[in-house]
C-alpha cells in the first residue's frame, strides 16, 4: 500500500512541476504592424497559447486597438520602439501592473527606445515603464 501511494505521489508531483514550468516558460514574440484589434493576455490563450511575457523582437506599430491585460509584461529584446497610431488600452491595477521593460539579463537604461503615442485615444493605467531610452513620448496630440 505504501509503495502504491508513493508512486501516485511521485506521478502527481511530476505532473504539477511539468504543468507549472510549461506556464512559466511561455512567451510570445511580437514585432511589426498590428492592423486588427488584438488583446495581449496574461495567461496562455488557446489555440496558439500566446501569453505573457510578450518579447518585442522588432519595432511595433499599432494601427488598430491593442488591449493589454493587467499583469502582462512587455519585454524589449533590443532598441525597438512601440508606436501607437491607433489605440492602446493598457489597464493594469494597483496589484497587477503592466510592465514595459528590458529583456536583457542585466537591464540598463537605453535597452529599448520608447512608447510613442500619436493621438489622444490611448489610456495607460498602472503601467510601469523601465530601462527605456525615452520612455513615453507624445507626438501630434492636440
> Cell numbers at residue 33, please?
504592424
> Cell numbers at residue 87, please?
489605440
Please indicate whether residue 13 or residue 68 has the higher confidence score (pLDDT): 68
pLDDT tens-digit readout, 84-94: 999 999 999 99
Contact 75, 56 (CB under 8 A): yes
Mean pLDDT of 6-23: 38
**For position 25, what pLDDT does the model report?**
53
pLDDT tens-digit readout, 65-107: 999 999 999 999 999 999 999 999 999 999 999 999 999 999 9
> Cell numbers at residue 60, please?
511595433
d(CA 71, CA 68): 9
**For position 104, what pLDDT does the model report?**
97
Contact 65, 87 (CB under 8 A): yes
Decide the pairing of beta strands 73-76 and 87-91.
Answer: unpaired
Contact 112, 56 (CB under 8 A): yes
**For position 11, what pLDDT does the model report?**
41
pLDDT, mean over the chain: 85
pTM above 0.85, yes or no: no
Region of 75 please: left (phi>0), alpha (psi -120 to 50) or beta: beta
pLDDT tens-digit readout, 31-55: 999 999 999 999 887 777 788 999 9
Amino acid at each position: 500500500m505504501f509503495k502504491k501511494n508513493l508512486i501516485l505521489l511521485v506521478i502527481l508531483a511530476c505532473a504539477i512541476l511539468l504543468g507549472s514550468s510549461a506556464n512559466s516558460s511561455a512567451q510570445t514574440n511580437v514585432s511589426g504592424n498590428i492592423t486588427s484589434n488584438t488583446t495581449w493576455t496574461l495567461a496562455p490563450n488557446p489555440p496558439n497559447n500566446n501569453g505573457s511575457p510578450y518579447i518585442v523582437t522588432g519595432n511595433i506599430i499599432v494601427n488598430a486597438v491593442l488591449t493589454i491585460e493587467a499583469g502582462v509584461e512587455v519585454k524589449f529584446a533590443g532598441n525597438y520602439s512601440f508606436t501607437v497610431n491607433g489605440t492602446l488600452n493598457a489597464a493594469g491595477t494597483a496589484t497587477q501592473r503592466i510592465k514595459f521593460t528590458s529583456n536583457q539579463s542585466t537591464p540598463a537604461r537605453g535597452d529599448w527606445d520608447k512608447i510613442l503615442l500619436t493621438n489622444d485615444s490611448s489610456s495607460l493605467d498602472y503601467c510601469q515603464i523601465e530601462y527605456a531610452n525615452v520612455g513615453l513620448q507624445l507626438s501630434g496630440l492636440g
